[in-house]
Every structure is written in structure tokens, then in C-alpha cells.
């Protein structure tokens, strides 16, 4: 995993008000974002400790990141495996223009400024 990719993940989680979403064919887990820690073999995203939720991701399986904005949804940063499959995504709350009561245009602009260069960056 490159230092650039790790920095982008840290920046995304540091923006606050994020949700980490992990999907499988039968389940979806949504975990409140939090700090990022890198171990020897695994990344830990989110808070650890009593009552806290977090996600572990094997570093060797992380290939790249891709930014996306999908109509009707919050902007997101997808973590991709070598085959281009989404391992998880970090969704930036309050970035969905279709949700007028919660939408924060300044937040979306900050997210775009930081991650827009990763738009369409699929493996």
C-alpha cells in the first residue's frame, strides 16, 4: 500500500461525519468512521474499544481508491481490490444534493477538491 493511498484514506476519515460501508451478497454493515491505524498486516478503520465499532482490512488486498458521486447518494471513496471489486466505501454524509434538509454544499466542495482527482479511477 502506497503512502499516497494511506494518506488519502486518513484524509477521508479525518473529514468527520463519515460512514464505512461493507457489502456482501447477503448483508450490509455500516460503521461510523473514525481514526485509521496501520498494523503489519491489517488496517483498522474506526474506533476500537468497549462498545466501539471498527473494520479490519487486509493491507495486501487493497489496490486503489476511486471517488464517486452517484445521484441520490452521498459522495463516496471506494476502496478497491486488485480485480476492481469494491472492498468497502467511505461515504461522506451531507454531500447528497438531493437531500436538501441535510445537504452541505461547502462540505461537498471540500470533498471534491480533495478526492475529485480519483473519480473514475477503477482498476
pLDDT for 2: 87
Domain map (residue ranges) of the chain: 3-107
Q: Mean pLDDT per segment of 10 residues, for the chain of length 123 residues?
A: 91 94 94 93 90 92 95 96 95 95 96 92 60
Dihedral class, residue 96 (left if φ above 0, else alpha if ψ from -120 to 50, else beta): beta
- 116 Cβ contact partners less than 8 Å away, ≥ 6 residues apart: 67
pLDDT of residue 123: 52
CB 79 within 8 A of CB 63: no
pLDDT value at position 1?
78
Fold of 3-107: Heme iron utilization protein-like fold (3.40.1570)
Q: Report pLDDT for 49.
A: 81
Which element (helix H / strand E) includes 29?
strand 28-32
pLDDT at 100: 86
Q: What is the model's pLDDT at position 122?
A: 61
Q: Are 45 and 53 within 8 A, CB to CB?
A: no
Amino acid at each position: 500500500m502506497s503512502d499516497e493511498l494511506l494518506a488519502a484514506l486518513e484524509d477521508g476519515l479525518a473529514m468527520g461525519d463519515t460512514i464505512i460501508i461493507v457489502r456482501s451478497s447477503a448483508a450490509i454493515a455500516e460503521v461510523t468512521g473514525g481514526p485509521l491505524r496501520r498494523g503489519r498486516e491489517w488496517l483498522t478503520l474506526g474506533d476500537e474499544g468497549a462498545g466501539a465499532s471498527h473494520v479490519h482490512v487486509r493491507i495486501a488486498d487493497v489496490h486503489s481508491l476511486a471517488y464517486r458521486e452517484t445521484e441520490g447518494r452521498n459522495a463516496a471513496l471506494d476502496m478497491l481490490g486488485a480485480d476492481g471489486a469494491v472492498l468497502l466505501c467511505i461515504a461522506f454524509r451531507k454531500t447528497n444534493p438531493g437531500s436538501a434538509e441535510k445537504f452541505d454544499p461547502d462540505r461537498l466542495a471540500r470533498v471534491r477538491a480533495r478526492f475529485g482527482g480519483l473519480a473514475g479511477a477503477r482498476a
